[in-house]
A and B are shown apart, each in its own frame.
Chain A
């Protein structure tokens, strides 16, 4: 059986990739995907723990996360399309109207 720590390391790597992507990428869609990556890194550790301890609550949480992520993707993509229509760019540094 694959030890728990392998899953956790993989989840950590995924999460770190997501954070890095979030921080260094300028394209909104890439940032969006980085967020998904972080969520999935967390999801992986959830299910790993659930399998380890034979408990269901971790897997239930993963479903919740996936549902929320799907809803978020629907709303987020709609916003992105709206932003692109008004500003004709997907560069987050240019989307700074609310900044003083």
Chain B
């Protein structure tokens, strides 16, 4: 018998925290607010750990029915939670990293206004994210999915007095709606054809179906639409444009929502729907291609960014591309593995970047940093760990997951050497731009202004100059640094075995697909590993050469590249393209057609013209009533004449 796990408490605890802080927090002191926020978030983490500790005793997958929600005919969707290996890992990542970032935020946001609002939103986000990963049907998942979008919107626009922050929030929300449109249609298709949104029921109906190798069919359509949703949430081509702008939010938000957890929701959703994707090879190929292209595309943009957070934003998009690449070649567990290690090192990178920004008094431009290595050693060393991890150096966490993805991209039955080649090249780019950032920030001479203005006074609690962050910010950095170093030591094999009950059990019985061939020899895997590490090393050396030894060289290269460099610097003009292609026609169209055409010329005009007509008619009538007796008599005579004429005419007819 499976013990009662009270899974529902995990999402609800942060919700209580959000409610207390959000409704009453205005009157609380900062200490009380902190205590409330951390207690409820920490309690969720503790529950997740408690469940993980009892893991071996559990009978997975474990379904916990909380309450009945919608019952309409045969269709049924409940408030019910679903725990298996996959959601357990997501649970631990979300609550663990989430809690660490909550702690960090206490230090980071201490001086900021709207402290209660911030923690209320953050807890609200935790609630929705946990709903997303624990849901046992697509509809409940969709609630979490929309909810994290809401929390993301609120937190991007946290500094809502700043125009750019407000519009960045709107942009994120609107772009995500486009993805949700696809997701929703996929849900409708599922209801139409399987009569259910429950994971177990849907997958049971899908399981006996044959893979749609011959041509696109229902499952392919569902898969592609789900991918549209995932592309919106996880910032993939062509819907990635909101994520770089989302950096307008406070840095802990960027770390939690826009790096570690929310944006990986799309990957989780694709992995959760693996039963569908495995039977829709075309959709799977699209996932892989989108992921691969996004990885490459975002990495190239990342090279030219000068804002420390924007580099990390593009890097996040690129790493999410890797995860989709893994899912697209059928290696779902590797995608989740990278999701986990990425949550560690990218969360850390953002927090460390926040610490750097904090240290230099709000400056985000890397061109005005430099030489910070000795001044903020803790930040430097933790960020170093994260940088090496994302670049893929052994034995850091990123190495294991990225190497596993690249190997799968080549060797899996869905894989191809093209994915692998682009993946390795992207790994080289990743290493290059991350070390570029590392060198620009921490090495060389300090290039910022010597005097910090009032901004630093606001930020650094009185003592001016570059300074290390308080302990409450450093402890999370250290925790995540340890995870970034050790997080990959589980090894991809063991991780794969751990997740195999989720992913392998439902693999399609398809004799047409050849079994994984002898490509997976141990020796060739080693060769591939050496190549990917070599790519990382090359990136490091190039960055070292360009940004440490000969800092003038990049400008000369940029000059030599000319317009291509300009294109990359301006993010390939994608924002401008979207503005010209979609935003402007939409705005113009609604202005011309809907506003001027329909609203003004039809709706308003009907009212205005009928009023004007009535006025004109009555204006004429008014003159008839002159008060002049003889004109009345004239009207009477005329009327009588008309009546007489009529009667005569009737009589003679």
* Chain A residues close to B by CB (< 8 Å): 19, 22-23, 92-93, 96, 98-100
Q: Is B617 an interface residue (CB 8 A)?
A: no
Interface contact B633-A22, CB-CB below 8 Å: yes
Of the candidates A23, A93, A99, the one having the most CB atoms from chain B within 10 angstroms of its own CB is A23
Interface contact B629-A19, CB-CB below 8 Å: no
* Chain B residues close to A by CB (< 8 Å): 626-630, 633-634, 637
Interface contact B634-A100, CB-CB below 8 Å: no
Interface contact A96-B627, CB-CB below 8 Å: yes
Interface contact A23-B634, CB-CB below 8 Å: yes
Interface contact A100-B637, CB-CB below 8 Å: no
Interface contact B630-A22, CB-CB below 8 Å: yes
Interface contact A23-B637, CB-CB below 8 Å: yes
Closest A residue to B640 using CB positions: A19
Chain A contacts of B630 at CB under 8 A?
A: 22-23, 92
Minimum CB–CB distance for A33 against chain B, Å: 15
Closest B residue to A19 using CB positions: B637
Chain B contacts of A19 at CB under 8 A?
A: 633, 637
Cα(A87)–Cα(B262), bound, Å:
94
Of the candidates B627, B630, B633, the one having the most CB atoms from chain A within 10 angstroms of its own CB is B630
Chain A contacts of B628 at CB under 8 A?
A: 93, 96, 99
Chain B contacts of A98 at CB under 8 A?
A: 627
Interface contact A92-B629, CB-CB below 8 Å: yes
Cα(A51)–Cα(B555), bound, Å:
126
Cα(A61)–Cα(B518), bound, Å:
130
Minimum CB–CB distance for A83 against chain B, Å: 13
Given contact pairs A19-B637, A23-B634, A100 touches B627 in the complex (Cβ within 8 A): yes
Cα(A100)–Cα(B633), bound, Å:
19
Minimum CB–CB distance for A82 against chain B, Å: 17
Minimum CB–CB distance for B19 against chain A, Å: 68
Closest B residue to A99 using CB positions: B627
> Would you list 18 pairs from A and B whose C-beta atoms are within 8 A, ordered by A residue?
A19-B633, A19-B637, A22-B630, A22-B633, A23-B630, A23-B633, A23-B634, A23-B637, A92-B629, A92-B630, A93-B628, A96-B627, A96-B628, A98-B627, A99-B626, A99-B627, A99-B628, A100-B627
Minimum CB–CB distance for A96 against chain B, Å: 7
Minimum CB–CB distance for B256 against chain A, Å: 77
Other than the given A23-B634, A23-B637, A99-B628, 8 more pairs (CB < 8 A) read A19-B633, A19-B637, A22-B633, A92-B629, A93-B628, A96-B627, A99-B626, A100-B627
Cα(A93)–Cα(B637), bound, Å:
19
Cα(A85)–Cα(B79), bound, Å:
98
Of the candidates B629, B633, B637, the one having the most CB atoms from chain A within 10 angstroms of its own CB is B629
Chain B contacts of A22 at CB under 8 A?
A: 630, 633
Cα(A92)–Cα(B626), bound, Å:
14
Chain A contacts of B629 at CB under 8 A?
A: 92
Minimum CB–CB distance for B540 against chain A, Å: 97
The 7 closest A-B pairs by CB, nearest first: A99-B627, A19-B637, A23-B634, A23-B630, A22-B633, A23-B633, A100-B627
Chain B contacts of A93 at CB under 8 A?
A: 628
Minimum CB–CB distance for B641 against chain A, Å: 9
Cα(A96)–Cα(B630), bound, Å:
12
Closest B residue to A31 using CB positions: B630
Cα(A71)–Cα(B210), bound, Å:
112
Minimum CB–CB distance for B624 against chain A, Å: 14
Minimum CB–CB distance for B1 against chain A, Å: 96
Closest A residue to B634 using CB positions: A23
Closest A residue to B630 using CB positions: A23
Closest B residue to A100 using CB positions: B627
Closest B residue to A22 using CB positions: B633
Minimum CB–CB distance for B644 against chain A, Å: 10
Minimum CB–CB distance for A89 against chain B, Å: 15
Minimum CB–CB distance for B615 against chain A, Å: 19
Chain A contacts of B626 at CB under 8 A?
A: 99
Cα(A22)–Cα(B631), bound, Å:
10
Cα(A23)–Cα(B626), bound, Å:
15
Closest A residue to B644 using CB positions: A12
Chain B contacts of A100 at CB under 8 A?
A: 627
Minimum CB–CB distance for A64 against chain B, Å: 22
Minimum CB–CB distance for B648 against chain A, Å: 12
Minimum CB–CB distance for A87 against chain B, Å: 15
Minimum CB–CB distance for A29 against chain B, Å: 15
Cα(A98)–Cα(B628), bound, Å:
10
Minimum CB–CB distance for A21 against chain B, Å: 11
Closest A residue to B637 using CB positions: A19
Cα(A100)–Cα(B626), bound, Å:
9
